[in-house]
Homo-oligomer: A and B are copies of this chain.
Amino acid sequence: MTELFAAVDLGGTTITCALGTAGGEIVARQTFAAETYRGPDSVLERIAECVAGLGKPVALGIGVPGLVDIPNGTTLFLPNLPTQWRNIPVAAWLKGRLGCSVSIMNDARVATLGELVFGAGRGVGTMLFFTLGTGIGGGVVIDGHLRLGPLGAAGELGHQTVVSDGPLCGCGNQGCLEAVASAPALIAEGVRAMRAGLAPHLNELTGGDASLISPRTMADSNDKAIRQAVERVGRYLGIGVSNLVSALAPDLVVFGGGMSGLGERLLAPVRAEVQKRVRMMPTDHLRIEISAMGEDAGIYGGIALAKGQEKWTTATNR
């Protein structure tokens, strides 16, 4: 019988559980509302039930939105979840219920691991991964190894400052990439443009309902103001990419997450900015791509994490 590994992607809005093979084939999956306000016990209970309902895994990997103590398998600081989620022994809890080993890691690092082990990062030496959504997470792979750093906190590529006196970010800093280039930042531009009468096509696509404005509807709009807003987000991303290219000279930059559906409209300004700003080294070998995994990198990464991270990561807590 084929060994199966479980992956859990615990988000602020939804939780996805999946089972997959060692080769990264997903054989079962289920998504449900996170309702994290119900508290860790209730949520972990539902995760355990969901996984058990899918099958019997030999190991489980779970990604959570924040800082974790990787060796001990406990949460530390999850900024977008209620405070009762701090210091929860998630790995021990799920292991006790499911009877298999459980590994925990920051969700963006898990997604990077998915891209590295099963996606565009296979066989690549050095890679930057950005996950673009409500926040902007990331991960850095150096010579085939995901850099974790103390508490697995390395790779916060969305919290680079790109506008030194820019808008306040959720993290407390000003002008982070996340503050100016995440989905909420882009959508806010769409809402303003539509209300100002500058986006008649977007108005038509959404029936004038601002709550229907999303990166997807904005990608479909041919309004000049909306095209410019997407381009501006791409340029900010391009600044962040350029800074890290100058420091690390990666082979590959990959964008995943919900906003990556903007596709070429996002990549074109990113590439233009890199060409403009990275002048101290050749960049003709550098590939900048959209992830083929869409929003599933976290699930693939969970499978990789369940299989064992040792081969793919550098030492943690140092």
A interface, CB within 8 angstroms of B: 67, 125-126, 138, 140, 142-143, 147-151, 153-157, 159-164, 169, 171-174, 239, 242-244, 246-251, 276-282, 285, 314-315, 318
**Is A247 within 8 A of B160, CB to CB?**
yes
Contact B154 A67 (CB under 8 A): no
Min CB–CB distance A124 → chain B (angstroms) = 10
Q: Contact: A161 with B280, CB < 8 Å?
A: no
Residues of chain B with a CB closer than 8 A to A138's CB = 247
**CB-contact partner of A318 in B157, B251, B277, B278, under 8 A:** B251
Question: What is the distance, in angstroms, from A87's C-beta to the closest C-beta of chain B?
Answer: 15
The count of identical subunits is 2
- Residues of B within 8 Å of A143, CB to CB, are 314-315
User: Which interface residue of A159, A163, A164, A280 has the most chain B CB atoms within 10 A?
Assistant: A280
Task: Find chain B residues with CB under 8 A from A151 CB.
Answer: 281-282
* A243: contacting residue among B140, B153, B161, B285, CB under 8 A: B161
A128, B173: Cα distance in complex, Å: 21
Q: Contact at B248–A157, with CB atoms within 8 Å?
A: no
A178 to chain B, nearest CB (A): 10
Cross-chain contact of A173 among B67, B171, B250, B276 (Cβ < 8 A): B276
Given the interface pairs A276-B173, A281-B151, A282-B150, the reply to whether A246 lies near B318 with Cβ below 8 Å is no
A102 CA / B278 CA spacing, docked (Å): 30
A159-B246, A161-B243, A244-B247 as given contacts; A281 in contact with B142, CB under 8 Å:
no
Residues B281 and A67 in contact, CB atoms below 8 Å apart: yes
Q: In the complex the two chains form, is B150's CB within 8 Å of A285's CB? A: yes
Given A142-B147, A162-B164, A173-B242, 8 further pairs, Cβ under 8 A: A67-B281, A142-B142, A154-B247, A156-B281, A161-B242, A172-B279, A173-B276, A243-B243
Are B126 and A160 in contact (CB-based, < 8 A)? no
Q: Are A153 and B318 in contact (CB under 8 A)?
A: no
When distances are taken between beta carbons in the complex, the residues of chain B under 8 Å from A249 are 147-150, 153-154
